[in-house]
């Protein structure tokens, strides 16, 4: 599956495997790439993404 974002003013494309489950390393790479595109620290991005408050 290919996703495109223009949120930061430039096009950013990321490919996510279309499987029932993702390996932990694959998920880590996807999240790290998205955080880098958003110019956010990975840990801060994850905290915001999974914040349950």
**Where do the structural domains in the chain lie, given as residue ranges?**
19-53
Confidence at residue 19, expressed as pLDDT on a 0 to 100 scale: 86
Confidence at residue 10, expressed as pLDDT on a 0 to 100 scale: 87
Give the torsion sign (CA, 8, 12, 17, 19): positive
Q: Is the Cβ–Cβ distance between 11 and 21 less than 8 Å?
A: no
Of 15, 7, 17, nearest to 38 (Cα)?
Answer: 7
User: pLDDT digit string (tens) for 5-52?
Assistant: 998 888 899 999 888 898 999 999 999 999 999 999 999 999 998 886
In the predicted structure, residue 53 carries a pLDDT above the cut 60: no
pTM for this predicted structure: 0.77
């Amino acid at each position: 599956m290919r996703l495109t974002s223009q949120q930061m003013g430039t096009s950013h494309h990321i490919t996510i495997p279309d499987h029932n489950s993702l390996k932990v390393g694959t998920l880590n790479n996807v999240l790290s790439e998205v955080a880098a595109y958003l110019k956010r620290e990975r840990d801060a991005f994850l905290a915001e993404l999974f914040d349950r408050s």
